[in-house]
A and B are shown apart, each in its own frame.
Chain A
């Protein structure tokens, strides 16, 4: 049985879905953060898979951009989470509704 790019795509779709569901149902900000990372990396897998299949380096370049942006985003996001949790340790994401319209 040969491992084709379809397998990678299915894996990627599964990981993305797990991430999405996790983001939607979990309340812990840290876990939600991890779910977002999971979704980003699922997309990365798609990029790499297509890059190999189509023999186009552009897909892998995009992955690097995603990694760099994700790293920056993690720094900002985690610092926000830490700052919020320091003030109210028992906080869930649903309590952060001060931006309600």
Chain B
């Protein structure tokens, strides 16, 4: 049954190749189904191999399947082979198991994405790389997987690369990981120099040939590698930014699998760690403890639902390093497995919330989501209890094991490690409770108006009023024009009246003076009649014009009044900028929309008001339910009560070569430590309830700005590498350009100029060559003669 091992990475690899070729043609949903099947096939095979390994006697659970010779170069020989042992199979089980669930979930989550098939192609390649990483039987093969998952993580983080921020996050992850990879390569070189082999079979059996200095160097270099991949200080900065990728990716890569590869590597190489100086193990433990505490403090103040989980992941990975550093390999793998379950659950749950709330990621704008998404809420609560360390959920057992081993550690400040661990546990319980309350409990803030929307509304209202002012002003101008026109009309009418009067007067004079016998007399009388008749008409017109002026003036006065009114209204609201409280943290009272503003709210607000939050489809909730079950009961694989219940511990024994630390703590102290851990966790939960649900204290007191900005570490990195660091790079670049390139180019230039000098001796004239020969011959002769007679 163990012979089937090669099928484990072959399934997702085949899925990847099929999707590369036919992915676009398959489209939605078949590309997703194919990828899920490939992953499920790998899981099924792993289960079969697991069965095969269980069937072997405990001492012989170490099987190497050689596939082919990969590199054969002198004494450097590398086979492509698989190493099947309890550690590798444990890793493979949860990689393929959790991976398959995340594939299934992605079918629903990525619904409608234009690059649907490409997403699953990357996922399958990722699973294949991760399996090569854990199953490879030598460091080079592990490195291949190591780089493979790095490349996939880059591709998946910047999956929606249209957004500059996403592309930047991908680059950040890639570059940061590169620093770790450099450590991996150097460590591999040292291993080869020391042991003349890089296959695990040789490394694990012949590690006692290593001197303690060599072992320490190797461990430190691998610690650098692991710190990069597993997001530890100082290289953790990429992981929170990696949340830019689609949520299933955050769950798969950045919670359950890829980030565990550093811990896996250190566990795999435990015989080397056993040879190394104690202080290097202490360094591992303290790096882990420091990272755990630092990330937990940052997580307390984050508002993005995924960022909280990202920092939480960094923090939990710190626990794993702490465990490895104190020799608690079983505890590390135990917590790795339980963490894979509950963190994948939490990530997928948050993805479900984001999906159901129309891509809202800000927890300040959630609240009361449990009403709309009962399944998501219920499973999320299980994940929360697991990570917060509430018994009997899985996280409690594994975390307690680590804390116990930290207490147990001697010579590297074990009690201090325990204290850091317990403070981190406190913070973990606190920030996770905060997240659950902000997201699922309390008032539904999703429909609340945001400050941005209010500002937009205020602006829209002001613009409206400004419009009113200009309309009124236009009307006023128009009415003034009308007055002017009416006055001009009146002048005209007056002139017409005067003229009519003159005409009438002239006519009557003419009639009076004119001789009756005249021919024109009749005409004159007629004209007089006409003029008399025109007079009253002109007078009426004048009167009309007068009233026209009056009414136009009245209109002008009223429009002017309107202008004044509009101006006053504008001035009144121009003072307003924002209505409502500045930020909504717990927001026990909703910010209200002022009635006058309601007509001016932006489209996005109106749309959201109409949006109905909904529970996610079954493809998303089924994985949640399965993961929740696992997160609740996974503690059963290694219960502390009796040695018979240490299933994981006994199972991993063949991979640990007796390097697991002995626990020399009495049962009473164990119970006491567990009691302290439970008390601390419950206290933190109660405190979070008091602050965020009951409003007993201001959240601002805890959520300091410095924490929200992650202790300004990212900024200071950017500041350093943009400032003094940049000068260093520029110096290196200058050295490269001037000295290295200079030497190369100098050689070329000097040869060129030497050739140019020699050209003079080759003029092409036969006679000059002949002269040269002649002179040369003469010299030779003189030399010979000189020797003869000397």
Contacts and interface: CB of A to CB of B under 8 A. Distances in A.
A58 to B, nearest CB: 19
Contacts of B770: 20, 23-24
Contact of A99 (B758, B764, B771, B774): B764
A23 B763 CA distance: 17
Contact of B764 (A24, A25, A100): A100
Interface in B753-776: 758-767, 770-771, 774
A93 B766 contact: yes
Contact of A94 (B758, B765, B771): B765
Interface in B638-687: none
Contacts of A101: 758-764
Nearest to A98: B764
Interface residues on B, range: 10 to 19
A10 B415 CA distance: 112
B726 to A, nearest CB: 49
Contacts of A100: 762-764
A90 interface: no
B764 A23 contact: no
Interface in A77-101: 93-94, 96-101
A94 B759 CA distance: 17
B767 A24 contact: yes
Contact of B766 (A20, A25, A96): A96
Contacts of A93: 765-767
B762 A94 contact: no
Contact of B762 (A23, A24, A25, A99): A99
A25 B764 CA distance: 16
A17 B299 CA distance: 102
Interface in A15-74: 20, 23-25, 32
A26 B774 CA distance: 16
A32 B766 contact: yes
A78 B771 CA distance: 21
Nearest to A100: B764
A24 B761 contact: no
Interface string B139-154: 0000000000000000
B775 to A, nearest CB: 11
A23 B759 contact: no
B763 A97 contact: yes
Given A101-B758, A101-B759, A24 B771 contact: yes
Nearest to A99: B764
Contacts of A20: 770, 774
Nearest to B769: A99
Contacts of B758: 101
Contacts of A98: 764
A94 B767 CA distance: 8
Nearest to B758: A101
A23 B766 CA distance: 9
A77 to B, nearest CB: 11
Contacts of A97: 763-765
Contacts of B762: 99-101
B265 to A, nearest CB: 62
A53 B367 CA distance: 127
A25 B771 CA distance: 10
A24 B770 CA distance: 7
Contacts of A99: 762, 764
Contacts of A25: 767
Nearest to A36: B770
Contacts of A96: 764, 766
A25 B766 CA distance: 11
A97 B762 CA distance: 9
A96 B761 CA distance: 16
Contacts of A94: 765, 767
B774 to A, nearest CB: 6
Contacts of A32: 766-767
Contacts of B771: 24
Interface string B259-274: 0000000000000000
A83 B315 CA distance: 91
A93 B759 CA distance: 20
Nearest to B756: A101
Contacts of B765: 93-94, 97
A23 B761 contact: no
B752 to A, nearest CB: 13
Contacts of B760: 101
A88 to B, nearest CB: 15
B27 to A, nearest CB: 69
A53 to B, nearest CB: 18
A10 B770 CA distance: 22
A72 B90 CA distance: 89
A93 B760 CA distance: 18
Given A24-B774, A93-B766, A101-B763, 8 more contacts: A23-B770, A32-B767, A93-B765, A97-B764, A97-B765, A101-B758, A101-B760, A101-B764
Interface of A: 20, 23-25, 32, 93-94, 96-101
Interface of B: 758-767, 770-771, 774
22 contacts: A23-B767, A23-B770, A24-B767, A24-B770, A24-B771, A32-B766, A32-B767, A93-B765, A93-B766, A94-B767, A96-B764, A97-B763, A97-B764, A97-B765, A98-B764, A99-B762, A99-B764, A100-B762, A101-B758, A101-B759, A101-B762, A101-B764
Q: Which 10 A-B pairs have the closest CB atoms?
A: A101-B762, A97-B764, A100-B764, A101-B759, A99-B764, A93-B766, A23-B770, A24-B767, A100-B763, A94-B765
